[in-house]
Structures are given as C-alpha cells and as structure tokens.
C-alpha cells in the first residue's frame, strides 16, 4: 500500500477575476475563496502548490475540434455579434456567455487538470487537486452548461497514456454528460455519475435506461433482462463495441440526504473499483450537490460530500480531484477546503452546535465547544462592563435562530447594536479576507437543507440492484486492457451455478470447497478458462 503523502494542488491567481456576467450563477471567484480558506487553515504546508501552465490550443484540440477551440480563442464580447451562426453552433450565448479572458480562463483550468494528470503519470504525486477544473458538460464541438473546454476529458486522456483503465467518478448534482459522451465507445474509461435526474433537470441525460437503449438498439431495461441473456450479449459484443457498458449512471431524485447517498456511493464505487481495477481515478467534486446550492436540489451536508472523497482516497490509487459545479460561493469554499483537508488527512473541525445550557425559556445559549464558551463569557463580561458604565437600560439578548447558532444582540429600546449581532460568533473558520461570507455561523457547517427527500428506500434499492447487475456483467467482458490485469478475486460463476441454491451448505463445507478449488486449479487463469467454457 502506498501512502498518500504527496499532494499537488493547482491554483492560478488569475481565475479569481473572471466574471461570467451579471446574474450568472457560475462565479470563478469561489476559487479565490476556496484558496483563501485552504491557506487560512494552513493546509498549504502539507502539500505542494503549483501554478498550471496555460493549455495550448493544440492540447485542447486533443479532444475538442480544432475549429471550436480556434473560435473560442478568437471570440470576444465585442465581436460575438458578428458570428451569430457560430455562436449558435457552438452553443455560446445564454448559459455559456462570451466574456473577457474567456479563452485564458479555459486555458488555465484545462492546463491545471492536464498538469495534474501529468504529475500523476510521472508519479510525482499521489493525489492532484485542481478545484478550477471539473467542467464536465463541455462537448467536443460545443459549450454546454457553463463549460467550454472539458478539462476532465483532457486529463483522462493524459492519464490514459500511463494507465490501462481510468475510473471517472462524478458527484456533481448534474450528469457528467460531456465525459460520458467522450468515452462512450471505450472500455478504458469507466464513468460513474451520481446526479439528479428528472423534471427536465439539466442536462436531461443520465438515466439508467438510456445506456441500454443505446447498447443493443432497443429499449431493454436491465431489470427485464435475464442474467444469462445479458451475459451472453456482452460476450457476443466484445471486440466490436468496447465501451457500451462502461458508463454507469445513478439517477437520483430531489433531496437525497447524507446517509442514503454515501451508502449508495460506497456500495457502487467499491464494487466498481473491485470489478474494473482502474489504474487511476478521476473524481469530480461538484459542490452543487450540497444542500442550499443555488441550482442544486440535493440535501447533502459537507460531511456527506466529503465522505465520498474520503472513501475514494482510501483506494490508494493515483487520484485526480477536480472541482465542478457549485453555485453558492461560500458553501463551495467550505466544501472544497474541507475536502482538501480530507485528502491531506487533516480533518478540519466542522461540527458545531449550540447547546442550551440555561434552558430554552431564558433565552441564553452557549456553544458546546470550550472555546466558544470562553469567548461567550468574556464577551458578556466585557459588554456588561461597557454597558453599566454607560446606561442601565440596556438589555443583553441572546438570540437563537433556526440554524441553531448563537447571536447576541444588545438592544436599548429601538437602538440596536447590529454590529454586535453580526460579529459575535463562535470562531471556527480562521480569519481571512472573505470571512464575512461565512456568516452567521462562521463554521464549516452548512445551513441545513430543507428539501424533502424524494428518494424512497425502494427506489434506491432498485438503483443499487441495477448497477450491481450491470457490474457483474462487466466482469465477464474481457478486453485488451483487461487482460493485463486479469480479475482474480471474484468467485467464478460456475461455482454458483453448480450449487443447488435450495441446498443449505454449512460454513465448514464451503471452506473445504474453496480449499479444494485452490488445490485443483492453479490460480486465476484456470478460473477464466472455466468461465469461458461455461
């Protein structure tokens, strides 16, 4: 097991000044805030920070069409009116406006992901982080969903130079359609996307069934497909359409919470990794799946989101982590800072809730943390001193809001010291230039989400089963790349088939059976042969 002690983090100071336009939800300024927070927590001392090179048009054209790249390079806000047809063809305008420094912005974030992949390839680091990247919607010849250049595809292409198989995981609330599409025809990249699907939610793709329609030309949901028929189909299809089953989509409904999401995520990803044996993992950490996102509709807390990152990290594979969506700036910064900490094995303190120590009726509340308590008492004493000097009519009021944080107000009739009300807080997030964004809690904890969880247990169970079925099929889909590292861990199907499911076998007999297998067959190759024979 390699230890993940080398982390490369990519940041370019220029992305902060990129402005998509008024009322555009995408605000690259969140990257500044993230970086500020990362530095405020001192995380930079545990990693290496790199400035990415600006990807050359040639590099971008490894995936994108040259004319599209060239057009992006050429277009400016002033000239966009001159090219209405191109603008429409490349889907520029509404969601993907043309702004100043557009191409430079693309170069920077794409360069970051490419550099990150190269560093991983050269084994210069174990984990590479590029929060500026992760723009997963961009298509080969068009922009889409605030994405112009698909840096993920470029990064994966780079990783593919060194790794036979790359696993792409996407926990953005939107479907990672651009990446899925790009690697739709190869089994060297498996894409797994957890996203909201339905209600015409952008981009409208990523339903589980889609894949099967495309797979054999007819709408054939996996549920209705018998296992053997399915397997046979895959075997038949081998060598002609390599990548058809290597896109896993986990469509979810509104308001999924931490528990069900992380359980589902862990089950699926562990199975995927076990099955697919990727050489490297690319993780897109779109923060719009957090509760309270401006565009998202999930109910994840930062902890739940970060738990996914933590889980992926545990595989100890070369890991490329990118950003993605995320349209409530302060939550994005919170989330990515915390996840940077997770990747560095540095857990940032983020639990904080107010404990009612005086009883609800009195209106006094105190933080559960010692630090907060000390601060509170000091503040109170201090205020009392000031107030008794001045006038006696001042009341001290502790206000508890619905987010269970503590606020302090000093009121004198109609006069209200708003200053106090805002500024007295439990210090959790270290001071930085953007500390005010983290009001009122000033902690890494998100304001709670209030979206109803529409994902019933049975629905999630169904999804899980479908994905597992799909994966089981993949085990029997050898390809050129798979031969290099033959799967050696699963119990061959023939064992299961031979056994009578109605016959109960005790553990001892089972063990004996396995031992006997080991004696008679020299490892995995034999198993494979048997599988093929079967």
Contact 178, 152 (CB under 8 A): yes
C-alpha of 236 from chain center: 35
Separation between Cα atoms, residue 244 and residue 239, nearest integer Å: 11
Question: Which residues participate in the annotated binding site?
Answer: 95, 145, 172, 174, 288, 327
- Is 459 exposed, middle or buried, given 0-12, 13-18 or 19+ CB atoms closer than 10 A? middle
Q: How far is the CB of 260 from another protein (least distance, A)?
A: 27
Sign of the alpha-carbon torsion through 245, 266, 120, 67: positive
Q: How far is the CB of 228 from another protein (least distance, A)?
A: 49
Contact 249, 289 (CB under 8 A): no
Question: Residue 7's beta-bridge partner residues?
Answer: 127
**Torsion from C-alpha of 411, 412, 418, 422, nearest 10 degrees:** -20
Q: Report the residue number, 340 or 531, with the smaller CB distance to another protein.
A: 340
Nearest to 238 by CA among 533, 534, 532: 532
Residue 190 main-chain phi, psi, to 5 deg: -105, 130
- Is 370 exposed, middle or buried, given 0-12, 13-18 or 19+ CB atoms closer than 10 A? exposed
Q: Report the residue number, 11 or 245, with the smaller CB distance to another protein.
A: 11
Q: How far is the CB of 487 from another protein (least distance, A)?
A: 33
Question: Which residues participate in the annotated binding site for substrate?
Answer: 95, 145, 327
Q: Report the residue number, 381 or 480, with the smaller CB distance to another protein.
A: 381
Q: Report the residue number, 112 or 478, with the smaller CB distance to another protein.
A: 112
Q: How far is the CB of 115 from another protein (least distance, A)?
A: 4
35 counts as catalytic: no
Q: Report the residue number, 193 or 340, with the smaller CB distance to another protein.
A: 340
Q: What is the DSSP letter of 247?
A: E
Q: What is the DSSP letter of 144?
A: B
Q: How far is the CB of 390 from another protein (least distance, A)?
A: 5
Nearest to 531 by CA among 452, 477, 468: 477
Per DSSP, the three-state class of 334 is: helix
Catalytic-role residue among 137, 163, 195, 305: 137
First to last CA, the chain: 35
Q: How far is the CB of 227 from another protein (least distance, A)?
A: 46
Contact 434, 384 (CB under 8 A): no
Separation between Cα atoms, residue 271 and residue 268, nearest integer Å: 5
Question: Which residues participate in the annotated binding site for a divalent metal cation?
Answer: 172, 174, 288
Q: Report the residue number, 124 or 229, with the smaller CB distance to another protein.
A: 124
200 C-beta neighbours (distance < 10 Å), count: 6
Q: How far is the CB of 377 from another protein (least distance, A)?
A: 10
Separation between Cα atoms, residue 9 and residue 127, nearest integer Å: 8
Q: Report the residue number, 15 or 250, with the smaller CB distance to another protein.
A: 15
C-alpha of 435 from chain center: 24
Contact 342, 313 (CB under 8 A): yes
Active site (catalytic) residues: 137
């Amino acid at each position: 097991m390699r230890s993940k002690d080398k982390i490369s983090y990519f940041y370019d100071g220029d992305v902060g000044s990129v402005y998509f336009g008024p009322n555009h939800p995408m605000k690259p300024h969140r990257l500044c805030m993230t970086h500020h927070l990362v530095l405020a927590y001192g995380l930079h001392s545990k990693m290496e920070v790199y400035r990415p090179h600006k990807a050359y048009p040639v590099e971008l054209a490894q995936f994108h069409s040259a004319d599209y790249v060239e057009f992006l390079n050429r277009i400016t806000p002033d000239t966009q009116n001159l090219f209405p047809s191109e603008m429409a063809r490349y889907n520029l305008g509404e969601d993907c406006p043309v702004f100043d420094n557009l191409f430079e912005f693309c170069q920077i974030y794409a360069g970051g992901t490419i550099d990150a992949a190269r560093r991983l390839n050269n084994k210069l680091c174990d984990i590479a982080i590029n929060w500026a990247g992760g723009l997963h919607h961009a298509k080969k010849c068009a922009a889409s969903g605030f994405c112009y250049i698909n840096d993920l595809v470029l990064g994966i292409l780079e990783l593919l130079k060194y790794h036979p198989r790359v696993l792409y995981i996407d926990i953005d609330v939107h479907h990672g359609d651009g990446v899925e599409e790009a690697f739709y025809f190869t089994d060297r990249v498996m894409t797994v996307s957890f996203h909201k699907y339905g209600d015409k939610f952008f981009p409208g793709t990523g339903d589980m069934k889609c894949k099967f329609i495309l797979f054999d030309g007819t709408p054939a949901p996996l549920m209705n497909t018998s296992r053997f028929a399915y397997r046979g189909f895959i075997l038949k299809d081998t060598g002609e359409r390599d990548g058809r089953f290597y896109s896993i989509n986990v469509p979810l409904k509104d308001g999924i919470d931490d528990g069900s999401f992380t359980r589902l995520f862990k089950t699926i990803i562990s199975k995927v990794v076990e099955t697919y044996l990727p050489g490297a993992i690319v993780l897109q950490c779109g923060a719009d799946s957090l509760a309270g996102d401006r565009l998202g509709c999930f109910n994840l807390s930062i902890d739940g989101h970060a738990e996914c990152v933590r889980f992926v990290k545990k595989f100890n594979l070369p890991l490329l982590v990118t950003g993605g969506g995320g349209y409530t700036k302060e939550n994005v910064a919170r989330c990515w800072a915390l996840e940077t900490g997770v990747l560095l094995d540095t857990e940032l303190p983020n639990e904080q809730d107010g404990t009612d120590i005086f009883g609800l009726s009195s209106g006094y509340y105190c933080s559960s943390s010692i630090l907060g308590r000390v601060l509170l008492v000091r503040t109170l004493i201090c205020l009392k001193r000031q107030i008794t000097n001045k006038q006696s009519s001042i009341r001290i009021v502790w206000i508890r809001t619905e987010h269970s944080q503590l606020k302090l107000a000093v009121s004198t009739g109609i006069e209200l010291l708003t200053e106090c009300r805002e500024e007295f807080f439990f210090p959790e997030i270290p001071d930085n230039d953007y500390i005010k964004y983290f009001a009122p809690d000033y902690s890494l904890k998100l304001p709670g989400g209030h979206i109803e969880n529409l994902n019933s247990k049975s629905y999630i169970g169904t999804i899980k089963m479908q994905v597992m079925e799909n994966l089981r099929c993949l085990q029997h889909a050898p390809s050129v790349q798979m031969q290099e590292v033959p799967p050696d861990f699963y119990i061959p199907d023939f064992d299961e088939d031979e056994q009578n499911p109605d016959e109960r076998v005790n553990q001892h007999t089972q063990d004996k059976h396995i031992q006997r297998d080991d004696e008679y067959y020299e490892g995995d190759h034999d198993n494979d042969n048997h599988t093929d024979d079967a």
